[in-house]
Amino acid sequence: MRRRLFISLLPFLMLVACQPGPEQPTLTPAPPTLTVMTTLEFEFGEPVDFARGGVSILLPMPKDWEELVTPSGVIFAERFARLADRGVQQGLMASVFVTPLSEFPDAISTDGLLTREILIALIAAHPDDERRSGDVQPFTWGGYDAAYYLVSEAESGPHHLIVGLTLPDAGVLVTGSVSAPRARAAQIRGAAPLLLGGVAVNGVVLGPEGLDALPEPLVFPE
């Protein structure tokens, strides 16, 4: 059941790309060194790459983590749930997805907060009485319009941080997520800049700074 609930979040997990601006860092062969205030540490191995609609994504992958590459993105985890786990998430999990903005023809922003409007529309379009979503909050990530919201699954299920980023010039929405069982939910805030900050879109690293600015601690809806 929990596995089905996680898969139901996938429409919210879509990633975006744009042409790099003159001040943006370009990707180096090795995953970037991220300086983040957190007690978590990850040793990164070979990155995972995928492309969709002319947008290329390079995602630093922690060593010994498991991955699932789909046509529109990547899901990666410390360990995917086994049969013996009854589908219950056991450790940290994250994802990165790309979705064309053309899939959101009715999304219009008059205040520059397009990402927030798209995420609000997605939540409304996929109601689920086994999942509680918090308010969608705007922020800036790598100089781009971004937004995030928090999710709590029912029956003491895992917590999720969902982030989105629109790159209108590339015509895509980039979404990422970090989730954990409730016993480890406090690690989501520190893990997000580490796991998602090194993502590169069309050779441009998004960076951890915007994610560093998220509230501490994250307060998940109940």
One of 3.40.1000.10, 3.90.870.10, 3.90.870.40, 3.40.50.1100 is the CATH number of 2-24+32-212, namely 3.40.1000.10
How far apart are alpha carbons 107 and 161 in whole angstroms?
Answer: 22
3-class secondary structure, 214: coil
Contact 169, 19 (CB under 8 A): yes
pLDDT value of position 36 = 35
Q: Nearest-CA neighbor of 196 among 136, 151, 141?
A: 141
Per residue in 37-94, pLDDT (tens digit) is 346 889 999 999 999 978 899 999 999 999 999 999 999 999 998 887 777 888 999 9
pTM listed for this prediction? 0.82
Residue type, 185: A
What are the boundaries of each domain within the chain? 2-24+32-212
Helix (H) or strand (E) holding 123: helix 114-125
Residues of the chain whose pLDDT is less than 50? Answer: 1-38
pLDDT value of position 109 = 82
pLDDT value of position 21 = 33
For 36-158, strand residue ranges (E) read 48-52, 55-59, 66-70, 73-77, 93-100, 131-133, 137-141, 144-153
